[in-house]
Amino acid sequence: MRVVEEQTGKFEPSIIRKYVEVKKGYTSFIDGDIIFAKITPCMENGKIAVLENLKNGVGFGSTEFHVIRLVDNNISKIYIFNFIIQEKFRKDAKRYMSGSAGQLRVPKYYLRETLIPLPPLAEQRRIVAEVETRLSVCDKMEVTIAESLEKAEYLCHSILKKAFEGKLLNEKELEIARNAPDWEPAEKLLERIKTEKTNTKAKNKGKK
């Protein structure tokens, strides 16, 4: 389960083992298969992936995956992946879960009997291309937002640093501030805060 990212479809097979070690107690799959986590909460979180570039074209994994293997060349595996990764599809699947609390699973028949709209292969590919284009835009936006947040955090630290070093205001602004009746140098302010904090701790200790 760990090698499948939630909702991204990314799959990173990081462990290589001998066949005799995995031929029992694991689910087998091949390149091109789609794996669908059947157990809660992995299913709800979208642990679904298209398997590609497996060593020798085969792999083994958790028995908590359903394996979808397409036998019709007129069906795009990425198109199917994009359909079943949808939140709506997973919410519908959740209604069919059965088992004990904490061990609920989507039954195999749900995937086998669910109807999926299937346009001609050319249209499937066009839809896949459009989805990938828009997801690429979303990825770029996430990077931009992350960079902006990082810059904003740096700016906040910089402003606070300059403020306590007396470098935030120009000389004219500093002169006006120093002449204000409530002016207090940063060093004295910090010392006063420290003293008040110490006194508060002492009072609280005396009450015990």
In this structure, are residues 8 and 47 in contact, taking their beta carbons and an 8 Å threshold?
Answer: no
The pLDDT, as a whole number, for residue 169 is 66
The pLDDT, as a whole number, for residue 150 is 82
The pLDDT, as a whole number, for residue 164 is 61
The answer regarding whether domain 19-118 maps to CATH 3.90.220.20 reads: yes
Q: How confident is the chain (208 residues) per 10-residue block, as mean pLDDT?
A: 75 79 88 93 91 89 92 92 92 92 90 92 92 81 80 75 66 73 72 80 67
The pLDDT, as a whole number, for residue 33 is 94
The pLDDT, as a whole number, for residue 76 is 94
Domain ranges of the chain: 19-118, 119-180
The pLDDT, as a whole number, for residue 1 is 61
Q: How many helices and strands in the chain, by DSSP H and E? A: 7, 5
Tokens of 36: 């669908």
